[in-house]
């Protein structure tokens, strides 16, 4: 049995081959991508260099695989291998369900408005994100790129700015949580909404939250809380959630989405953040 077979048979070790996200590219590689391969997976095969002894020492293997001679396999060793987590949110009320391709690999199918993917492991580096109307592979809605930094937890939100569509990369909390308190922040992703004040149990906790703004984290007593969003200039309530439940020891983000100019109005999404249950 040769050393490639040894890598393939290392039971219990997750590798890059098990990941939903593809391997990252360099900034130069991203710049050299062409429009023709939006849905053709871009791999290190296209940019492969001879494997070095240093790469082997760090556990990075270019393994023969039929006609694709340089498939990189990276073992994910807790506390050793650098990676991050990322999930995707469709916060764009004007586009409906979408398919999301990362470096040519589809990572989300029929991602509906207000829906999140699960968190996915991703290695640090550059990624091109291409969005299509669900079930299609022509005329992309959006083409952009993100840079993932190691040891972070991200939410990438697909938003409408009123003039274009784009991704907003939001860094989630990674600090140690107080097990007797809940942590919550507010993220405004509706371009049509006015400046707003945030009230929890009729107490003002945040003023003048603007579009694409991400607030600081607030430490709040756990339990059911009454959330109100008010127009900053008039104090008029534009949305209320009287049953915002926050559990002790958990971290949350309140995503404000929707379109004030349409019948749907505003909505709030209050998902649990990955820091509560993810590990590196």
pLDDT 10s digits, 171-225 = 988 878 899 999 999 999 999 999 999 999 999 999 999 999 999 999 999 999 9
Return the DSSP state at 210.
Answer: -
The domain 175-280 is placed in CATH, from the list 2.60.40.1120, 2.30.30.100, 2.160.10.10, 3.40.50.300, at 2.60.40.1120
pTM: 0.87
Report pLDDT digits (tens) over 220-279.
999 999 999 999 999 999 999 999 999 999 999 999 999 998 888 999 999 999 999 998
Rounded Cα gap, residues 241 and 227, in angstroms: 5
Average pLDDT, the chain: 87
The domains spanning 1-171 and 175-280 adopt the same CATH topology: yes
The domain spans of the chain are: 1-171, 175-280
CATH number for the segment(s) 1-171: 2.60.40.10
Predicted confidence at residue 243, as pLDDT, reads 95
Which positions ≥6 away from 126 have C-beta within 8 Å?
A: 24, 25, 26, 27, 29, 30, 145, 146, 147, 148
Q: What is the C-alpha R_g of the chain?
A: 21
Residue spans of beta strands (DSSP E) within 140-181: 142-148, 153-160, 165-171
């Amino acid at each position: 049995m040769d050393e490639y077979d040894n890598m393939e048979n290392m039971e219990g070790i997750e590798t890059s081959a098990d990941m939903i996200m593809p391997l990252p590219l360099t900034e130069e590689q991203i710049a050299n991508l062409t429009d023709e391969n939006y849905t053709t997976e871009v791999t290190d095969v296209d940019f492969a260099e001879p494997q070095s002894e240093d790469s082997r020492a760090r556990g990075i293997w270019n393994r023969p695989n039929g006609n694709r001679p340089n498939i990189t396999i990276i073992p994910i060793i807790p506390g050793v291998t650098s990676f991050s987590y990322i999930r995707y949110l469709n916060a764009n009320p004007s586009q409906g369900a979408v398919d999301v391709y990362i470096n040519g690999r589809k990572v989300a199918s029929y991602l509906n408005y207000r829906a999140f993917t699960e968190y996915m492991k991703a290695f640090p580096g550059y990624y091109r994100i291409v969005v299509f109307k669900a079930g299609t592979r022509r005329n992309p809605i959006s083409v952009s790129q993100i840079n993932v930094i190691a040891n972070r937890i991200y939410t990438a939100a697909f938003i409408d700015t009123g003039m274009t569509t784009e991704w907003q990369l939001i860094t989630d909390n990674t600090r140690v949580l107080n097990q007797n308190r809940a942590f919550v922040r507010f993220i405004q992703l509706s371009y049509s909404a006015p400046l707003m004040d945030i009230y929890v149990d009729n107490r003002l906790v945040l003023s003048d939250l603007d579009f694409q703004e991400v607030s600081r984290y607030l430490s709040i007593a756990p339990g059911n809380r009454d959330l109100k969003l008010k127009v900053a200039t008039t104090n008029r309530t534009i949305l209320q959630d009287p049953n915002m439940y926050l559990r002790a020891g958990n971290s949350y983000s309140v995503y404000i989405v929707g379109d004030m100019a349409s019948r749907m109005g505003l909505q709030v999404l209050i998902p649990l953040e990955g820091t509560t249950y993810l590990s590196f």
